[in-house]
Amino acid sequence: MMAQRDWSRWLWLAGAIATGASLAVMPPLLAVSWLLGLVALGLAASDPVWPVALAVLSVPFQQLVLLPGGISVTQFCFGLVALSLLWHIRQRWPKPEITGLTLAIFIWTLALAAALTPLSRSEGLKETFRWGTVLLIYLAAVWALQDPARAQWRRAVLVACLLAAPAITGLIGIGQYLTGIGPDSFAIGSGRVRAYGTIGQPNSFAGYLNQAWPLAAGMGLALIETRRWRTYHWWLILGALALAGASLLGGLLASFSRGGWIGAMVGVLALGIAFAGRYGRRIVGIIVTAVLIAGLGGLLLLNSGLVPAAFSNRVSSILENLRPFDVRSVEITPANFAVVERMAHLQAAWNMIQERPLFGVGPGNFSIAYERLVYSGQTPTWIKPWYDSRGHAHNYYLHIAAESGLIGALAYLVWLGSGWYRAIGAVRRARDWLTRGIALGGIGVIGALSGHNLFENLHVLNMGVQLGTVIALLATIAAEPASQPIDKEDV
């Protein structure tokens, strides 16, 4: 036995020396990439939660750094997650459950629509694969959280990553707004620009933050419920959550995304009702009333002239985006261009649904179908002057129906409904402040996503890593047996 230990030590030492020598002769950037990769491999081998955590952290930086071979950081993390899952799953297979099953069915409908599309099957397969990575992250997170002995600290690790990555890009977005650094198309006057962070587009940036700030809010509310304000670590955690929440909400406000603001309102309402549910219907009514009064007060404040014109004009234009109209009868002006352009894409999606109602034009084929109709001369004149597609229908529910047909849209809604079901179950079964905070924040995330998707497509740029991890947290909490009410001494 002693000889085997000596040999293993010598083997590790030889490997370390060989690795160090190899890194020394590599170019600096390549050496750093290999070193970080080796550290990531070591973390993946040590515990299955780390690959998921690294994937969550990589999302805001996936377009900033490319690894050798043109691989993004997030794609590398997907490989780590897959290897880790295959390595650790030999010990225990994950239990099948409704949310993962409905997600798999939705992906199957995407694959079917991709196979039957008359347009690009390769684009269809790419989009199906993107959703496959969401399932991968979800399964890996669920599997990692199934060990009761390690579930709590693994939840804490994932929540920290789910807040840290968006908070960092939120700070970057606030800096962009204050300094006016950004493309001219994002300018809003007075030397300011709409915040876009590292995501690249203000609306997608707002959608990313909408999948994070409810977690900070939910965790903060659950922590306050414990009433442990005499302990220093209580204030330390609350301060960190407050800083993260300020960064996230500040970035969301600076994005000037009207859809993002509406999504945030839905998230606040969902989180408020879930929080008040423990205290009875009367408190629920008070929360809903308070949200409505706050909204009305905000509208009055915007009309008072005390708020910068850029904000008040942006909010007042929300009603124009909610009002449907026929773009063929509208004269396009600089003031209404964005609204008319949005409506044109909505009508284009509706035309695609009418053309192929069951299976759609194919996943990832929205732009191809749009341009095919335009350049073939089959599209009415209402499509002008938008000869180039924006890539989505400005409403994900219409978008998924246009790309994968009514069958795919139904499968998506069933999966989203299973997420709501798991979130409600998590709120009911939360057994301590951490799980209650995750449950409250998770239901806020799903609410904000559901509301914001009425105006955007938030399932882009691998943001499904964030959503898949949040729903995995909710699913594992909801699967636990009901327990005693929250322990106010447990912080």
Residue, of 127 and 323, whose pLDDT is higher: 127
Q: Distance of CA 56 to CAs 81, 190, 215, 266, Å?
A: 11, 35, 14, 24
pLDDT at 30 over 60: no
Q: Which position has the higher pLDDT, 485 or 241?
A: 241
pLDDT at 335 over 80: no
CA distances for 272 relative to 210, 290, 420, 437, angstroms: 15, 10, 15, 12
Which two three-digit tokens encode residue 191? Answer: 């030397």
Query: What is residue 370's predicted lDDT score, i.e. its pLDDT?
Result: 82
- Measured CA to CA, the distance from residue 41 to residue 378 in angstroms comes to 53
Question: Region 254-277: what's the mean pLDDT?
Answer: 90
Sorted by sequence, the CB contacts under 8 Å of residue 201 that are 6+ apart come out as: none
Output the pLDDT for position 98: 86
> Which of 84-88, 118-122, 287-291, 446-450 is most confident?
446-450
Q: Round to the nearest angstrom and report the end-to-end CA distance of the chain.
A: 44
H-helix or E-strand spanning residue 193? strand 192-193
CB 363 within 8 A of CB 404: yes
Q: How would residue 12 be classed by pLDDT, with cut points 50, 70 and 90?
A: very low
- pLDDT value at 169 more than 90: yes
pLDDT tens string 91-117: 666 666 789 999 999 999 999 999 999
Residues contacting residue 125 through CB under 8 Å, at least 6 positions apart:
111, 114
Average pLDDT over residues 392-403: 92
Question: In sequence order, what DSSP letters do the residues of 444-461 get, joined into one string?
Answer: HHHHHHHHHTTTS--S-T
Closest CA to 209 of 248, 181, 154: 248
Residues 6+ positions from 359 with CB-CB distance below 8 Å: 112, 113, 116, 117, 404, 405, 407, 408
Task: Assess whether pLDDT exceeds 50 at residue 165.
Answer: yes
Q: How far apart are CA 320 and CA 460, in angstroms?
A: 26
Confidence of residue 58 (pLDDT cuts 50, 70, 90): very high
pLDDT of the residue at 1? 44
pLDDT of residue 312: 57
- Sort strands 66-67 and 71-72 into parallel, antiparallel or unpaired: antiparallel
Rg of the chain taking only CA atoms, in angstroms:
24
pLDDT computed for residue 56 by the predictor: 96
- The answer to whether 405 and 359 are in contact (CB under 8 A) is yes
Map residue 71 onto helix, strand or coil: strand
Closest listed residue to residue 433, CA positions, set 290, 136, 224: 224
Greater model confidence, 70 or 203: 203
So what's the pLDDT on residue 4? 44
**How high is the pLDDT of residue 411?**
97
Looking at per-residue pLDDT, the higher value among 148 and 328 belongs to 148
CB atoms within 10 A of CB 106: 26
Q: Choose from 138-147, 301-310, 339-348 the range with maximum mean pLDDT.
A: 138-147
- Rounded to the nearest integer, the mean pLDDT of the chain is 82
pLDDT for res 327? 62
Give me the mean pLDDT over the 424-436 stretch.
Answer: 92
The 10s digit of each residue's pLDDT in 354-381 is 889 999 999 999 988 887 765 555 544 4
pLDDT score for 85:
85
Residue 118 forms beta bridges with which residues? none
Q: What is the mean pLDDT of residues 404-414?
A: 96
Least confident of 119-123, 193-197, 230-234, 449-453: 230-234
State residue 400's pLDDT score: 96
pLDDT confidence of 394, banded at 50, 70, 90?
confident
Tokens encoding 271: 């989180």
Of the candidate ranges 139-148, 161-170, 194-203, 222-231, the one whose mean pLDDT is the lowest: 222-231
Q: Which of 66-70, 202-206, 255-259 is most confident?
A: 202-206
